[in-house]
Chains A and B, each alone.
Chain A
Amino acid sequence: MLSRTAENLFWMARHIERAENTARVLDVAHRTSLLPLDIDGTQAYLWYAPLNITGCADSYEVKYGLAKADTVSHYMAIDPDNPTSIYSCLKLARENARTVRGAITSEMWEVINDTWLELNRLPKQMDYEKFRDFFDWVKNRSHLFRGVTLGTITKDIGLSFIKLGTFLERADNTARILDVKYHILLPSLNHVGGAADYYQWGSLLKSVSAFEAYQKTYRDVISPQRVSELLIFRDDMPRSLHACMDEVEDALRAINGHSGKEAQRLAGEQHAALHFGLTQDAFSEGLHEFLTDFLKNTALLSREIREAYLSRQDTTLNRQLTT
């Protein structure tokens, strides 16, 4: 497969997944803002979290200053000037899809194109109600796209790159949510099992569609350790780091060629750490350190994938031509 085609498929999937994750993060912030919180400077804390998770706090501050509900929502959802806004992600996903029309099915193209067209018909200013509807819509479009993809595309190397994009992005996002939230929620660690815990950790679980899974799995009060276990080590939880790395490893194995050896090794290493790792070890090491390492390794893996398969840089080429 042409590297450019693979690159566009990879990023198409990544951008869709990113749009969905941003919608999830904002949705939870909106829900949480309705709760009575006993943390100082609640509002600012609350609305910095989505900015920190998606890594756009700095560019936001330049434009708006203090983190407030309406401006953060606008900036992260529909601001075309923010390169990581949902709007920008859906726009980029469509650009990616358009350049590889021949490599995706017409059904996939129609979903992406319709999403873009609908997005442009939405009002430029939204109130609280509208934002909630909007986040649901984004999630639904993403679900639809994933369903259409699996239902129509040939199971070949193209699908492998789509999966790589989806699950690397998802793993990255789950790790960031956990890291940022854990930081914010840390003060309440002392009174585990209280009402605040229930709502706050509960909202974190909801943001990754894991609330019901938690209850089914543990049938007990919500504790930070279990939330972490569920979102990091459980492989039956579709948004956990372990489940994502399962998929990444599978996808890499399905891609032919010798150029991906290092990428496969890195993915295998990361997968093994999740497969055999223990929650208590992660906690004794410090969850923040653990997640920081994970994010660093994921970034390394992404870079290796880019160089092995997607890059059109002469340096990599010379390496490949001489071997």
Chain B
Amino acid sequence: MDTKTLKKYFNEMYADNGAVREIYGRYGRWLKDLPDGTLERRNAEAELLFRRLGITFAVYGEAGEAERLIPFDIVPRIFGASEWQRLELGLKQRVRALNAFLHDIYHDQEIIKAGIISAHQVLNNAQYRPEMKGIDLPNQVYAHIAGIDLVRIAENDFYVLEDNLRTPSGVSYMLENRKTMMRLFPELFVKHAVEPVEHYPQMLLNTLREGAPPNVAYPVIVVMTPGSYNSAYFEHAYLASQMGVELVEGQDLFVHQQKVYMHTTEGPQQVHVIYRRVDDDFIDPRIFRPDSTLGVPGLMEAYCSGNVALANGVGTGVADDKSTYLFVPEMIRFYLGEAPLLSNVPTWRLSEPEDLSYVLEHLPELVIKEVQGSGGYGMLVGPTSSKAEIEAYRLRILAEPAKFIAQPTLALSSCPTLVESGVAPRHVDLRPFVLSGKDVRIVPGGLTRVALTEGSLVVNSSQGGGTKDTWVLED
């Protein structure tokens, strides 16, 4: 790929000639007729609403202040029905292949035997869990909930930036954003047939139910959180209450004869499915980190005996690693016999000498990421970094090249966004949430993340990004 051709940004709302894209037609007319100051007023209203929700949901720090809420932007990001349909097919295909890959590497390892991916790449990965070898999971599903980060470069050009198969978060923002938009702009929802997303918790509940150990007629399902100090605690509490299941911490559960129980006021009650928002490393001090107080001693044993299901399964991290990412298109061909519908971003692996020398020569143009990193931490965005930053990063790379990958600086599409100076384009990405049970399901849209700083390409909430409601219009 020629990085120069990517410099021109695609705008979600306006075509190159300045005309409003057809999908935004109605919204554009509505926006044009809007009396001055209306957006700003509604925005203030949205902030109030969110502060109130914040009172309901946000985590509070030791000093009693609310934790920073993720900023919400009131201009929606809109997809047409056919645009979305193509994405949906691609996402489902990708997640199917990723689950097939996980099943394979913990069983017969056909993909390694076929020489498509090296044994070293899989088995020496820190996220590969040998404990999972030979363990059969219901429906052969490992990643029940997947968050696939997509970016758009042009009208018909989408790339997968990253697969999140461990404990992807953000879905509560997707739901809250929609609720807020419907309150603020009911007239827009009259004008547009927007595909609903509110049934996500129900869909999640069905997915978890389908993932229960076989022969359990009425599985007891719980959401497991690291606790109220976790930054995503409100999402855990929110999903539990939306699904009508208990929100538990590790200390609420115990294992007795390879079965998991929760302590209730009526005595122990057996638990069959745990939607856990606790990382692998912390779920069982007997098997993983012995210093973890967030987990449940004996949980892995119960899990491996098939008495309890975990969502997501253990050991999914090996498939969403940035160095495994490279092989996903091959996985799709190998397991599904299909051509990949969604492309990967071209990626250089710095463990390869040729790639390494190319990347070291082109640092100012590239984005460098840590293979194990996430959340936008520890990455280098060449074009926006100072010489000193680049040189410092170069030393880090040289110390341990295999820890890094490089990608071209993508021209993320931009979407009109309300900022201090009015409505202006800001770069966006998209995280749809893909659910896998007996079937693969997805609510239309997902969470659109927006980089609120002008020119910034980093949308992560931990780096000052905001979110938008995402609309998929019905035909």
> Which residues of A come within 8 Å of B, CB atoms?
1-4, 6, 98-99, 101-102, 106, 109-110, 113, 116-117, 120, 157, 161, 255-259, 309-312, 314, 317-318, 320-321
Contacts and interface: CB of A to CB of B under 8 A. Distances in A.
Contacts of B64: 113, 116-117, 120
B90 to A, nearest CB: 37
Given A309-B265, A321-B267, 9 more contacts: A1-B265, A2-B265, A99-B228, A117-B64, A259-B265, A259-B266, A259-B267, A317-B261, A317-B268
B60 interface: yes
A4 B249 contact: yes
A3 B254 CA distance: 13
A2 B56 CA distance: 21
A106 B262 contact: no
Q: Is the interface of A mostly helix, strand, loop or mixed?
A: helix
B145 interface: no
B68 interface: no
A229 to B, nearest CB: 36
Contact of B246 (A2, A99, A116, A157): A2
B15 to A, nearest CB: 46
19 contacts: A1-B265, A1-B266, A2-B248, A4-B248, A4-B251, A98-B228, A102-B237, A102-B247, A106-B56, A110-B55, A120-B64, A161-B265, A256-B266, A258-B266, A259-B266, A312-B263, A314-B254, A317-B261, A317-B268
Given A102-B240, A257-B266, A317-B268, A312 B251 contact: yes
A109 B262 CA distance: 26
B265 A6 contact: yes
A1 B247 CA distance: 11
A313 to B, nearest CB: 9
A220 B240 CA distance: 59
Contacts of B63: 120
- Which 6 pairs between the two chains have the least Cβ-Cβ distance? A257-B266, A3-B263, A309-B265, A312-B263, A320-B267, A1-B265
* Size band of the interface chain B makes with A: 20 to 34
B276 to A, nearest CB: 16
Nearest to A255: B265
Given A2-B263, A106-B55, A309-B265, A317 B256 contact: yes
Contacts, number: 74
B241 interface: yes
B17 interface: no
B36 to A, nearest CB: 36
Given A2-B248, A2-B252, A314-B254, A157 B228 contact: no
A256 B265 CA distance: 8
B241 A98 contact: no
Contacts of A311: 263
B421 interface: no
A2 B262 contact: yes
Contacts of A161: 265
A309 B247 CA distance: 18
Nearest to B241: A102
A2 B266 CA distance: 9
Nearest to B269: A2
Contacts of A99: 227-228
Contact of A257 (B237, B247, B267): B267
B471 to A, nearest CB: 30
